[in-house]
């Protein structure tokens, strides 16, 4: 499924989202991101766990726990977008009960999604269940105001347009529903400096060694340093109509969870002071 241009039809080169090397506009960025994830899919899990020394499992677990109340409701409609190989979805499923409404696990990279789909039906899927959906986060094939929760782990940063992503999340969430966006961040201070050395100089080499694709692991630190810092991201969430927006740092701020509550439509214009 080739990605479409953004909801506004804008194909500008403005720095509003991920810009992989060589991408000239939003469509080019989305096509490049999709191709990159399809190409690294076979080794994605192993590279991920090695590079993060398995801390990623803790981050998915904390994110799922944060939403345990809504996950405990068997009728809740839940989307894990940019689900990739499905580990965030699997963490959500641990809070679902057998017979609960399936979690929708969606991604636009077919090779990533196929690996996730296998986990959802595998031996570790004894809790709730999930269905895999090939879909673009910027054009979700879902009715407006139909979801109780959207989660996304390490995917939002890759969207070709962050504002359009938030707008699309707002469209499909019910008023009062929740969003959780887990992604990397750049910690400050001495730890930040050490982390930058690891992230920019060491990680791409390990990634290439195990994963065999150097461009993908050069893209990772570049995309994190381009991702808006927490204060800016929270402001974008407010502008998109989310209330009670908050960023919770994980592991000294290497990663963090953005949360918010979907306000009514008019809050998209007036929410700037309602945090």
Ligand X SMILES: C[S@@+](CC[C@H](N)C(=O)[O-])C[C@H]1O[C@@H](n2cnc3c(N)ncnc32)[C@H](O)[C@@H]1O
Contact window for ligand X (CB under 6 A) among 122-130, 133-141, 173-181, 261-269: 133-141
What one-character-per-residue DSSP string does 58-127 give?
Answer: HHHHHHHHHTHHHHT-TT--EEEET-TTSHHHHHHHTTS-TTSPPEEEEES-HHHHHHHHHHHTSTT--S
Chosen residue from 23, 32, 33, 79 binding ligand X by CB under 6 A:
33
| Ranges within 47-106 binding ligand X (CB under 6 A) | 82-84, 87-88
- Nearest residue (CB) to ligand X, 19 versus 34: 34
- Nearest residue (CB) to ligand X, 77 versus 109: 109
Structure tokens of 38? 């399809």
Q: Binding mask 13-32 vs ligand X (x if CB under 6 A, - otherwise)?
A: -----------------x--
Helices (H) and strands (E) in the chain, counts: 12, 7
Do 32 and 56 touch, CB atoms closer than 8 A?
Answer: no
Q: How far is CA 38 from CA 63, 78, 110, 129, 261, in A?
A: 25, 24, 7, 24, 32
Chosen residue from 155, 207, 256, 263 binding ligand X by CB under 6 A:
155
Structure tokens of 87? 């580990």
Chosen residue from 100, 103, 130, 159 binding ligand X by CB under 6 A:
159
Q: How many CB atoms lie within 10 A of CB 253?
A: 19
Q: Binding mask 96-125 vs ligand X (x if CB under 6 A, - otherwise)?
A: -----------xxx--x-------------
Chosen residue from 6, 20, 37, 187 binding ligand X by CB under 6 A:
37
Maximum Cα interatomic distance, the chain, rounded to a whole number of Å: 50
Chosen residue from 63, 103, 136, 234 binding ligand X by CB under 6 A:
136
The conformation of residue 135, written as its DSSP 8-state character, comes to: -
Shortest distance (Å) from residue 45 CB to ligand X: 8
154 binds ligand X, rule: CB under 6 A = yes
C-alpha 67 chain-centroid distance: 15
Binding residues for ligand X, per CB under 6 A? 30, 33-34, 37, 82-84, 87-88, 107-109, 112, 136-138, 153-155, 158-159
């Amino acid at each position: 499924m080739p990605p479409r241009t953004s909801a506004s039809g804008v194909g500008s080169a403005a720095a509003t989202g991920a810009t992989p090397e060589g991408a000239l506009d939003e469509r080019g960025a989305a096509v490049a991101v999709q191709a990159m994830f399809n190409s690294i899919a076979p080794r994605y899990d192993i590279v991920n766990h090695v590079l993060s020394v398995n801390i990623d499992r803790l981050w998915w677990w904390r994110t799922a726990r944060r939403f345990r109340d809504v996950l405990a409701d068997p009728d809740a409609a839940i989307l894990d977008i940019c689900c990739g190989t499905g580990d965030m979805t699997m963490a959500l499923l641990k809070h679902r009960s057998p017979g609960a409404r399936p979690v929708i696990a969606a991604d636009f990279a077919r090779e990533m999604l196929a690996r996730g789909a296998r986990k959802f039906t595998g031996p570790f899927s004894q809790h709730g269940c999930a269905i895999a959906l090939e879909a673009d986060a910027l054009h979700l094939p879902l009715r407006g105001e139909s979801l109780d929760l959207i989660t996304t782990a390490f995917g939002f940063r890759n969207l070709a347009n962050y504002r359009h992503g938030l707008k699309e999340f707002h469209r499909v969430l019910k008023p009062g529903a929740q969003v959780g966006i887990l992604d990397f961040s750049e910690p400050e201070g001495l730890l930040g400096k050490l982390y930058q050395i690891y992230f920019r100089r060491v990680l791409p080499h390990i990634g290439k060694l195990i994963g065999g694709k150097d461009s993908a692991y050069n893209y990772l630190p570049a995309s994190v340093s381009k991702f808006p810092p927490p204060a800016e991201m929270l402001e974008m969430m407010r502008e998109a109509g989310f209330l009670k927006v908050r960023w919770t740092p994980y592991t000294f701020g290497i990663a963090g969870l953005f949360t918010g509550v979907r306000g009514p439509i008019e809050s998209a214009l007036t929410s700037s002071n309602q945090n």
